[in-house]
Amino acid sequence: MAHSVAALGVATIETFLTMRLVQNAIDTRFSPRRQMVSFGLANSAVGAAGGLILSGQPSLTMMAVGAGGRTRLTPLVMAMTVLLFGVAYSDALAVIPVAVLSAILIATSLRLFDPWTFRLVRGLFAPGSRELRLRTMYDLLVVACVMAMTIFYSVIGGIVLGCALAGLIFIVRMSQPVVRATFWDSQVRSKRVRTALEEGVLAASPRAVLKLQGVIFFGNASDLAERLKTVEDKASIIVLDCKRITDIDVSGANTLRATLERARRQGTKLHFCNVPNALVDALVIALEMSREDLVRDLDSTLTQVEDDILRAVAPRTPDRALTLDRIDFLRDLAAHEIALLDGKMPLRHFGPGDVVCREGEPSDRMWLVLRGSVSATVAVGDRVHRLACLGPGTVFGEMSLIERGTRSADVIADGDVVCRELSRDTVDEICRDHPGLAASLLRSVAQALALRVRSTSADLRLVLDEFV
């Protein structure tokens, strides 16, 4: 009786595994209850006739799928073929050399290697975050342990060990804090370059970015809510970066909704970004937010947050171009010096999508943005990354006044743009004829470069955080 129960358990597990393999291989659906009832009736009939019980065989089934089998006729044709050869050609089968049969078995076994495991091995050496590599190592550990247990002990032992290891790894992952890192307004900014006045306004509006990770479920949802309460005491605007969230259960979604409602009542603005596509639909329903508000990247969300703050303080008039005396780059110059520059800096107009300068071009001039905005971008492989967005009152290309190098990025007009252009030849002329003005310009260049370095350091901190 005990052996019968053990055989039944093995047959049931193998059948479920076979159905899952076929389901993934040919993208189809099975009714587990219907399949098990069918196997039960078939085994009852076979047992009554004195035969051996049947079960789903992963290896044989995947061979059939690989050969093109897709319907219920596949096992029937296979069975009839074996019966035909066994009855009509038994003598011919007996003379087949053992080496030939061994080669057939080896070739068949090679076709059964799981491509998913090979992808795991490749992923272990592919570039990516430390968290992704650890997850790959855990999966490979489970594969290796289950394979060893199955080979040297039994299939049932391998299944039990695999379930135990998977459960243990799940517990370890769930024990990780859901808030991976917290950045305050001085540590994280959008790629939009702001004027000194705008920076002062933004500094008076405390903000926080919380980078989340793992699964938000009933076990850590309350911890997340408490953490958000603590952050709300220090920041009026909170951004939740969900890039590393892998799943959210009902408790987690309800916690996020309750937190969002509480924040609205208290006047705290809560934003979401980088929500994985697999979770967007569920959060759209739970949070009653639009899809666009959830899938935006962190930089776009921070840009919107900063623009909202600035609009609330002083609504912009984007159609009016700034004058030179309102450019931060020239704030230390006297009125007569600005008037002198006014006649030496021609006005330049660019339309949407126009290229102001290209990466690799000779660097011999800089620009002051009076109206509109431009984006500095670099191409990495087949992708284009935005390094910065520069609006009215900002400058770009100032390095050309110091070194005679080449452009390090493309600069593209986002819309209608009006700039003032200052060439190196003009600066050389000013150095010769107006040394005092030249000293002021070089001091302004040094201050602009210092701001660039500070901004780059903040961006680097975020980039490094993605690989920790």
Residue-averaged pLDDT of the chain: 81
- Burial (0-12, 13-18, 19+ Cβ within 10 Å), 306: buried
Q: How far apart are CA 192 and CA 375, in angstroms?
A: 9
Q: What pLDDT sits at residue 211? A: 92
At 58, the amino acid letter reads P
Whether the pLDDT of residue 261 is over 80: the answer is yes
pLDDT at 370: 93
Of 90-94, 129-133, 392-396, minimum mean pLDDT range: 129-133
Look at residue 135 in the predicted model and tell me its pLDDT: 73
**Torsions phi, psi for 417 (to 5 deg):** -125, 140
- Which range is least confidently modeled, 113-122, 157-166, 332-341, 428-437? 113-122
Report d(CA 409, CA 355) in Å as an integer: 11
363 backbone dihedrals φ, ψ, rounded to 5°:
-95, 105
Band (2; pLDDT cuts 50, 70, 90): low
Strand spans (E) along 20-146: none
Q: What is the pTM of this model?
A: 0.64
Q: What is the pLDDT of residue 348?
A: 94
CATH class held by domain 179-313: alpha beta
Kindly report, residue by residue over 142-178, the tens digit of the pLDDT: 888 888 888 888 777 777 888 888 778 777 766 778 8
Question: Which residue carries 């859901």 as its tokens?
Answer: 178
Of the given ranges (3-12, 204-213, 285-294), which has the lowest mean pLDDT? 3-12
Q: CB of 242 within 8 A of CB of 276?
A: yes
pLDDT tens figures, 354-396: 999 999 999 999 999 999 999 999 988 777 888 889 989 899 9
Instruction: Read off the pLDDT of each residue in 115-126 and give the average, rounded to a whole number.
Output: 73
| Residue 392, both tokens | 């009215």
pLDDT of amino acid 318: 54
**pLDDT on residue 418:** 94
Give the E-state strand segments of 178-322 in sequence order.
Answer: 179-184, 192-193, 207-216, 237-248, 269-273
Task: Kindly state the percentage of the chain with pLDDT values over 90.
Answer: 16
Reading the block at residue 78, the tokens are 């296979």
Q: How far is Cα 307 from Cα 313, in angstroms, rounded to an integer? A: 10
Residue 55 reports pLDDT greater than 80: no
Confidence at residue 201, expressed as pLDDT on a 0 to 100 scale: 87
Residue 27, pLDDT score? 61
pLDDT of residue 8: 67
Name the most confidently modeled range: 31-40, 96-105, 205-214, 257-266: 205-214
Over residues 104-121, the mean pLDDT reads: 73
- pLDDT greater than 80 at residue 276: yes
> What is the tens place of the pLDDT at every residue in 11-51?
677 777 677 666 666 666 667 777 777 777 877 777 777 66
Q: How confident is the model at residue 210 (pLDDT cuts 50, 70, 90)?
A: very high
The residue-averaged pLDDT of 200-220 equals 86
Q: Give the chain's end-to-end CA distance (angstroms, integer).
A: 55
CA dihedral 101, 102, 104, 108 (to 10 degrees): 140
* Interatomic CA distance for residues 73 and 69, integer angstroms: 8
Lowest mean pLDDT among 1-15, 169-183, 192-206: 1-15
Return the pLDDT at 106.
Answer: 81
pLDDT band at 457 (very low <50, low <70, confident <90, very high): low
d(CA 333, CA 444): 9
Residue 292 and residue 297: Cα distance in Å, rounded? 10
Average pLDDT over residues 433-451: 86
CA–CA distance, 449 with 359 (Å, rounded to integer): 19
The H or E element containing residue 155 is: helix 155-174
The secondary element (H helix, E strand) that includes residue 428 is helix 424-433
- pLDDT for 52 equals 67
In angstroms, the CA 33 to CA 189 distance is 55
Q: Which two tokens stand for residue 221?
A: 């949802």
Q: Select the more confidently predicted residue: 452 or 432.
A: 432
Calculate the alpha carbon distances from 400 to 156, 348, 364, 455 in Å: 70, 18, 5, 19
CATH architecture of 324-465: Sandwich (2.60)
Q: For the ranges 194-208, 269-283, 308-322, which has the lowest average pLDDT?
A: 308-322
Q: Which of 20-24, 121-125, 419-423 is least confident?
A: 20-24
Q: Taking the CB of residue 140, how many other CB atoms lie within 10 A of it? A: 15
Residues, the chain: 468
Q: Taking the domains of the chain in order of start, what are their residue ranges?
A: 2-111, 115-174, 179-313, 324-465
Phi-psi region of 288 (alpha: psi -120 to 50; beta: other; left: phi over 0): left
pLDDT confidence bin for 459, thresholds 50/70/90: low
